[in-house]
Chains A and B, each alone.
Chain A
Amino acid sequence: MAITQAMATSFKVEILDGVHNFGSGVVRASTAADVFKIALYTSSATLNASTTVYTTTDEVSSSGTNYSAGGKTLTISQVPTSTGTTAFLDFDDITWASATLTANGALIYNETQGNKAVAVLAFGGDKTSTAGNFTIQFPAATSTTAILRIA
């Protein structure tokens, strides 16, 4: 027999599922998954771990770009699950078609919960589409690569 200190893997998955509440909880209207969105930003934006909520400041323009303020809704392609002791989830790739825009990064946020920030994505430089596709490919849904993981 042995006791091994650990955070339960099931708990990690349940965090992503919104099961546990240690603080002031939110009242949920349903048991459905929240709506998560992704917005694009120019290199002028300041986004980092301190970002708490979606902002329109320095978001990619909606004028002549085929981009709409607020970005697009993400599809959860892998609901929270685990492999080994790591919980993770995944989103489908997302595309802005016929787009003429330049973006330097993106913000994933929870529209259902008051547009609260989830993750800031830095593209590592300006990415430009001209009357074409602008696609963000999410990493493979594995315990070592998935976009959101709790190890």
Chain B
Amino acid sequence: MSFEGGFELGTVKVFTTESRGFMPNEIADRAVDRLLRINNRSELKRVLAQYFQEAQDSERMNLRRKLNENGFTEAAKLLGD
């Protein structure tokens, strides 16, 4: 007698950008799948905060790039890495 089963590995997706952070709609696209499957308040809050942070980081990246492109390198450094 035997039964099927075993260890299984899911499939990841890779998203990249060129000379910019993610746009809000790009982040939203990735967030939807995860958010739809969350059924408790604390986890929803944690994941939302994660994606909001990502949006903030992306915008900072865009600002840094624009500041650097226009010679404001010291100002760009103030926005962090």
A130 to B21, CA, bound (A): 10
Q: Is the CB of A119 within 8 A of B9?
A: yes
Chain B, 1-44, contact with A by CB distance < 8 Å: what is the 0/1 string?
A: 10111111111111111111110000000100110010000010
Could you say which residues of chain A place their CB within 8 Å of the CB of B8? 148-151
A148 to B65, CA, bound (A): 37
Could you say which residues of chain B place their CB within 8 Å of the CB of A92? 47, 50
| In the complex, residue of chain B having the shortest beta-carbon distance to the beta carbon of A131 | B19
| In the complex, residue of chain B having the shortest beta-carbon distance to the beta carbon of A138 | B12
A63 within 8 A of B: no
Chain A's interface size range is 35 or more
A7 within 8 A of B: yes
A142 within 8 A of B: yes
A108 to B12, CA, bound (A): 12
Q: Is the CB of A145 within 8 A of B10?
A: yes
| In the complex, residue of chain B having the shortest beta-carbon distance to the beta carbon of A139 | B10
Could you say which residues of chain B place their CB within 8 Å of the CB of A138? 10, 12
A57 within 8 A of B: no
Q: Is the CB of B16 within 8 A of A134?
A: yes
Q: Is the CB of A130 within 8 A of B19?
A: yes
- Kindly list 20 other residue pairs between chains A and B, CB separation below 8 angstroms, not including A148-B10, A150-B6: A5-B3, A85-B5, A97-B58, A98-B61, A103-B14, A123-B12, A127-B16, A128-B16, A130-B19, A131-B18, A132-B20, A133-B16, A133-B21, A135-B16, A136-B13, A137-B14, A146-B10, A150-B8, A151-B4, A151-B5
Q: Which residues of B are interface residues toward A (Cβ below 8 A)? A: 1, 3-22, 30, 33-34, 37, 43, 46-47, 50, 54, 57-58, 61, 64-65, 81
